[in-house]
Amino acid sequence: MILVCGGLADGVTELVCSRLQDCGYPYRLLNFARFPDGHRLTGRWTDNGPQGWIATDDWRLDLDAISGVYARLLGLEDRQPLPGLDPADATALRAEGDLGLIAVLEGLACPVVNRIGAGLSNNSKPYQALVISRAGLTVPATLVTSDPDAARAFFAEHGDVIYKSASGVRSIVRRVGAEQLARLDHLRDGPAQFQAFVPGRNVRVHTVGARVFATAIESEAVDYRYAHLDGLTARLTPVELPDPINQACLRLARACDLLFAGIDLKQTPSGEFVCFEVNPCPGFLYYERHTGQPISTALAELLRGAVN
C-alpha cells in the first residue's frame, strides 16, 4: 500500500493519486490540509523503526504495509484552520502533529519521496550550487558578496547578470539593470547573490529513482511557466541528454538524498549544459501534461517498490 501525504486541492498530488489509480496500485491519501484533524496516528519505536498505523474515519493503514510514501507537504496558507482553537494553540498543536507525522515517516525503511532533510539544500542556493558543482554539473558563474566593488567587477566581466535571493525566501530572479547598479552600495548592509546570465534553451530534468526524464522548453517568456499570462507560448518537448549529463543529474539527486528531483538546466548555444538548481518537491504536472512523459508512472512504480 502506498501512502500519499498532500492536499486534495493540489494538482500534483491529484495527478499522483490518479496515476496510482490508473496503475492499479492501492494507496491511501492523508489529507495534509486537514492534518492532524480527522487523522489518528501511532508510531512505536523499540529496537527497530516505528511500528504502528495511520487512520482516518475511512481507513487504517499499518506502517508495516506501506511500500512507499509520497509527501508533498503544504504551506500554512494551504492548511485548514483547526476548529475551536485560538490561533496560537492551533499553531502549536499543528506543529507538534506535523513533527510527529514527519518522525514516523522518516523512520520508515521504505522509499519516502522525499525525506525532509533531503530537501533542505534548497534553502541555500549558493550551498546548493556547490553541491551541484561537486556532482559534476557546471553552474553559472556565481558571486555572493557584500562588496559593491566586487559586484561591479562581476557585472563588468559578464555584462548580463541576474540577481536572486540566496535563501528560499523572496526567491525571484531579476536582471541587474541601471537601477540595481545605482544601489550596489547597499550591499554593505548584507550580501546578495549574482549570477552570470546564461543564454540558451531551458531543459527541465526529472529524476525518479534511477530514471531520467528531460524536457526542453522553447519560450520567449522570462518565466516560461507563466508564458500564457504575457500572451506568449512555451513549447515543451521530450529530449535525450548526453549520458554524462544524465549520470551527473542522478549523482546530484543521490548527493541530495532525493528519490525524486526536478533539476533546472540550460543548454547554451555552444551545447554546454549549465545547472541552476535542484527542486526537492518538483511540480512535474506541467511537464507531464505538455509532453506525455511518464513521470508519474515512474513515480508510481518507485512508490510501489517495483524499482530502486
Partner 1 sequence: MFLLLGHGDDLCCAGVHALLDQRGLDARVVAAPVAPPAKLIWRLDAAGLTSSLFPPVPDTAITGVLVRDTGWLDPAGWEKEDHDYMQAELRAVTLAWLAGLSCPVINRPDAAQWYRAGAPLVAWRPLLRRVGLPLGEVIITSDPAEAAAFRRRLAKDGVAGAVYAPLTNTSGYLLDDDDAWDGIVAVQERTPVCLAEPHGASMLACVVDDTVIWDREQPAEVRRLDGALRRFATVAGLSFVEIAVAPVRRGLAVVLVEPRPRLEHFDEDARARILGGLVAALTKKTRDVAVAPLVLS
Residues in touch with partner 1 (CB under 8 A) = 36-37, 39-50, 52, 82, 85, 92-97, 99-101, 103-104, 106-107, 116-118, 120-130, 133, 138-147, 150, 154, 165-170, 188-193, 196
Cβ 212 to partner 1, closest distance in Å? 23
Cβ 131 to partner 1, closest distance in Å? 8
Nearer to partner 1, 234 or 275 (CB): 275
Cβ 219 to partner 1, closest distance in Å? 27
Cβ 57 to partner 1, closest distance in Å? 13
What is the DSSP secondary-structure string of 222-284? Answer: SSGGGGGGGT--EEEEEEPPPHHHHHHHHHHHHHTT-SEEEEEEEE-TTS-EEEEEEESS--T
Nearer to partner 1, 19 or 158 (CB): 158
Nearer to partner 1, 45 or 226 (CB): 45
Determine the Cα–Cα distance for residues 41 and 216; give it in Å rounded to an integer.
42
Asked whether the beta carbons of 230 and 191 are under 8 A apart, the reply is no
Nearer to partner 1, 17 or 111 (CB): 111
Nine-digit cell at 173?
530572479
Determine the Cα–Cα distance for residues 84 and 100; give it in Å rounded to an integer.
21
Nine-digit cell at 9?
486541492
* Secondary structure letter of residue 223 according to DSSP: S
Cβ 286 to partner 1, closest distance in Å? 26
Determine the Cα–Cα distance for residues 261 and 287; give it in Å rounded to an integer.
13
Nearer to partner 1, 47 or 179 (CB): 47
What end-to-end distance do the CA atoms of the chain give, in Å?
A: 17
